[in-house]
Amino acid sequence: MSEKLQKLLARAGFGSRRELEAWITAGRVSVNGRVATLGDRVEESDLIRVDGRVLSRHRKAGPRRRVLVYNKPEGELVTRSDPEGRPTVFENLPRAGGGRWIPVGRLDVNTSGLLLLTNDGELANRLMHPSSEVEREYAVRIYGEPSPEVIKQLTEGVELEDGFARFDSVVDAGGEGTNHWFHVVIREGRNREVRRLWESQGGVVSRLIRVRYGPVILNRALRQGRFQDLPPPALKALLEAAGLPDEPEKERPASRRARHKPQGRTARPGKRRR
């Protein structure tokens, strides 16, 4: 059965569908010797090249699906490299094994907390797409105490420079002195949307932490700068939130190296050693 080229490449772990559409437009992908175009559909038997390299049958089937939960500290960028040499989240992650880690949405440099990363581009695309309406929950510290009128306005909606936006809910989480905590829920991933909503009402955000993405809740025992694999029950719930079936792993031919390599101990969740 044929499928869209960018979907197959996403399953193979090259990136999200949006990234791969840009690769196709840039002429980096060919099918059966012809430069691919957006809208192309392919079969697994087609000869596909990415940057001149043939995509193997093993790679087309996709790597074993994994999702990492990473507790991002402030000061790290969600980018693969930074011209200014600032630290990135990818410096602390393990190897993806046959693909690459795709961040599910982004957190700006001053935002900490839950960041999901996966080697499954289709899963990443579904979780980020506005039509999925997957909830994101943030703990936000505001300077001062917003009035009930401000809270009402934030849940009814505000017109920002890139369109209408609102919080699904705003829950008072208490606080002391001049700082007050709230938990807010939003179903989009627009750039700095949580901060911009508060700022539209004169609010000053002094701290922002993502604590939940869909059914995945940040484990308080997971230290900042550390990661852990999402366990199967939680992965199944995440797939359901994304509208994807929990399909059994496909049989893939083992490489010669894998067949003869002795099985080692499972690595502890944590920070990758450099």
Distance separating alpha carbons of residues 56 and 64, to the nearest angstrom: 15
**CB 48 within 8 Å of CB 56:** no
What is the spatial distance between Cα 196 and Cα 200, in angstroms, rounded to a whole number?
Answer: 6
Which listed residue (40, 46, 82, 108) is catalytic?
108
| Tokens 């490299």 sit on residue | 81
Given the structure tokens 């852990």, which residue do they identify?
228
Ramachandran angles phi, psi of 126, nearest 5°: -65, -40
The DSSP letter of residue 221 is: T
248 CB neighbour count, 10 Å cutoff: 6
Give the 3-state secondary structure of residue 223: coil
Alpha helices for 118-213 (secondary structure H): 121-128, 148-156, 193-200
| Residue 91 amino acid letter | E
CA atoms within 13 A on the CB side of 25: 6
108 noted as active-site residue: yes
- Number of C-beta neighbours around residue 149 at 10 A: 9
Separation between Cα atoms, residue 103 and residue 237, nearest integer Å = 18
Contact 168, 183 (CB under 8 A): no
Write out the two tokens for 164: 């209408």
246 Cβ partners below 8 Å, 6+ apart? 235, 236, 239, 240
List the beta bridge partners of residue 186: 136
Catalytic residue positions?
108
